Structure 1
Amino acid sequence: MTDIMDKLQLYFSYPFVRYAFIVGLLIALCSSLLGVTLVLKRFSFIGDGLSHVAFGAMAVAAVTGLTNKMYLIIPVTVISAILLLRTGQNTKIKGDAAVAMISVGALAIGYMLMNLFPSSSNISADVCSTLFGSTSILTLKKADVWLCTIMAAIVIAVFIIFYNKIFAVTFDENFSKATGIKSDAYNLLIAVITALIIVLAMNLVGSLLISALIIFPALSAMRLFKSFRGVIICSAVISVICAAVGILLSILFSTPVGSTIVTADIVVFLIFWITSAFTGRAKA
């Protein structure tokens, strides 16, 4: 136990490790807030689709030699979120088909570009790192940390300010429109926030694991709670705790950060699922 504490103390003596830890918690919090809305709206896989778009944008940024890849990844992912929302409302192309189209297309194009115009001699390592996250939180740069912190603060503020509107749009869009709420505008806002969270989480868990970070805490909370507020609070607590545990374990055992966090989320989901099977859902 003493060796573990000494190792953690050593790592956390570096400022960039502390920054990365804080960013990880902020990303987990943002993902959990949005995850509840996406799950209830039956649009959970938008995270998976946009994560593949972000992967494709990152491949293009690497090929073109951009110093800060975020300048390309953020606008491309946001625009794709808007197009995905519009396409999903098309009666000829349903939401799940639109996600599949964008997801597979962006992933294939991104991987092809990385092979045709390799930015390094180890393409497999680059692809693996992008898809599943970096092997250590120490790879996060200070500039990335501050950018993620600011964007996470904006996402949280937007969700708090428009909480009532998002709640109404999540459960009944037709009723929301009847009461004068601009449902399309708030759906667009949700899509844009989702895109920002996807970009935030790429360096932490990788593009393939982002949807798990969004979905699992919400699904876990729904095993025991019925109210929207209860689910959101529980989901946020679960997500933050799992992120903290995952990052600490990745430091101690040198495991990939993303996979470790998602594994912690899966374990918690199984615990909540078993608990709900025996006790039933709690009234909140």
Structure 2
Amino acid sequence: MSATFTQLAAYFQYPFVRYAFIVGVLVALCSSLLGVTLVLKRFSLIGDGLSHVAFGAMAVAAVLKMSSTTALTLPVTVACAVLLLQGGRTRRIKGDAAVAMLSVSALAMGYLLMNVFSRSANLSGDVCSILFGSFSILTLDPFEVKLCALLSFIVIAVFVLFYHKIFAVTFDEEFAAATGTRAGLYNLVIAVVIAVIIVLAMNLVGSLLISALIIFPALSAMRLFTSFLSVTLCSAAVSVLCAAAGIVVSVLAGTPVGSTIVAGNILVFLLCAALGRLKGTAR
């Protein structure tokens, strides 16, 4: 055991490992805050659809050889989140059909562009890194860490400031609108924040696994608690714990970061489900 701690301490002397840990914890915390809202509003698939949009935007940025892919990925993902929310209410293609169409289109076009225009010697590795996170989080530079910290602070601040409004539109949007709450505006805020979270999580777990990072902590917390605040706090704790443990295991065992974090979330969900059953039996 002491040898493991010594090895871990040696790894954490490297800046890129510390950067990965900081970003991983921040992204996990932000993801968990809105995950409960998405599950309760049955918007779970929006995260999956927007993650594929982010993949397409990142593919375009890679083809254009942009120094920072976030400069393109973030505005494109936010714009698509707004379109899904607003356009889904007024156009003929609505709900899950719009999400599925946008998701598949962005994924296919992104991969096509990378195949046609990319001059990378390791195209398969680049695609795998974007889709599954791979080890890209271990190549973060100080600017990306500062940007992630800034965006994470904004996400947390928005959630705290508008907590009661988000709570209202989550449980009963029509009643909230009837009492004077601008439900459309706060749904828009939720969509934009989710888009920002997805862009942040791209380097951590990849576009195909982002939904797991958002949804699993919320589902785990719901097996143990019933109030919105308790579920949100428990979800945040579970998400941060799984992210921290996943990064540590990944560094020590050499496994892919994103997959390791998701595997940890699955184990915690199964444990919470078992504990929830025991609580129900005791009652």
TM-score strictly above 0.5: yes
Separation (CA, whole Å) in 1 of partners of 2:71 and 2:138 = 22
Separation (CA, whole Å) in 2 of partners of 1:211 and 1:104 = 15
CA apart distance, 1:224: 1.2
- The letter of the residue matching 1:193 is V
Separation (CA, whole Å) in 1 of partners of 2:9 and 2:15 = 12
Separation (CA, whole Å) in 2 of partners of 1:171 and 1:241 = 27
CA apart distance, 1:123: 1.1
Q: Is the Cα–Cα contact under 8 Å of residues 136 and 251 in structure 1 kept in the other structure? A: no
CA apart distance, 1:180: 0.7
Q: 2:49 maps to which residue?
A: 49
Separation (CA, whole Å) in 1 of partners of 2:76 and 2:152 = 18
Mapping 1:200-239, distance limit 5 Å: 200-239=200-239
CA apart distance, 1:281: 9.0
Separation (CA, whole Å) in 2 of partners of 1:281 and 1:81 = 42
Q: Secondary structure at the match of 2:44?
A: coil
Separation (CA, whole Å) in 2 of partners of 1:91 and 1:42 = 20
- The letter of the residue matching 1:64 is L
Mapping 1:152-167, distance limit 5 Å: 152-167=152-167
Alpha-carbon deviations, 1:47-94, whole Å to 9, x = none? 100000000001111111211111110100000000111233246323
Q: 2:106 maps to which residue?
A: 106
- Note if 1:58 corresponds to 2:53: no
Q: Secondary structure at the match of 2:180?
A: coil
CA apart distance, 1:137: 3.8
Separation (CA, whole Å) in 1 of partners of 2:11 and 2:76 = 35
CA apart distance, 1:121: 1.5
CA apart distance, 1:138: 2.2
Change (3 A) 1:100 1:272: same
Q: Secondary structure at the match of 1:202?
A: helix
Q: 2:122 maps to which residue?
A: 122
- The letter of the residue matching 1:119 is R
Separation (CA, whole Å) in 1 of partners of 2:281 and 2:81 = 34
Q: 2:267 maps to which residue?
A: 267
- The letter of the residue matching 1:163 is Y
- The letter of the residue matching 1:69 is T
Q: Secondary structure at the match of 2:66?
A: coil
Separation (CA, whole Å) in 2 of partners of 1:219 and 1:88 = 26
Q: Give the superposed CA RMSD.
A: 1.5
% identical equivalent positions: 66
Instruction: Structure 1: state its 5+ residue gaps.
Output: none
- The letter of the residue matching 1:76 is V
Q: 1:40 maps to which residue?
A: 40
Change (3 A) 1:282 1:272: farther
Separation (CA, whole Å) in 2 of partners of 1:160 and 1:45 = 24
CA apart distance, 1:12: 0.8
- The letter of the residue matching 1:6 is T
TM value normalised by structure 1: 0.96
Instruction: Structure 2: state its 5+ residue gaps.
Output: none
CA apart distance, 1:119: 3.5
- The letter of the residue matching 2:157 is A
Q: Which moved more, 1:173-182 or 1:132-141?
A: 132-141
Change (3 A) 1:66 1:103: same
CA apart distance, 1:143: 1.3
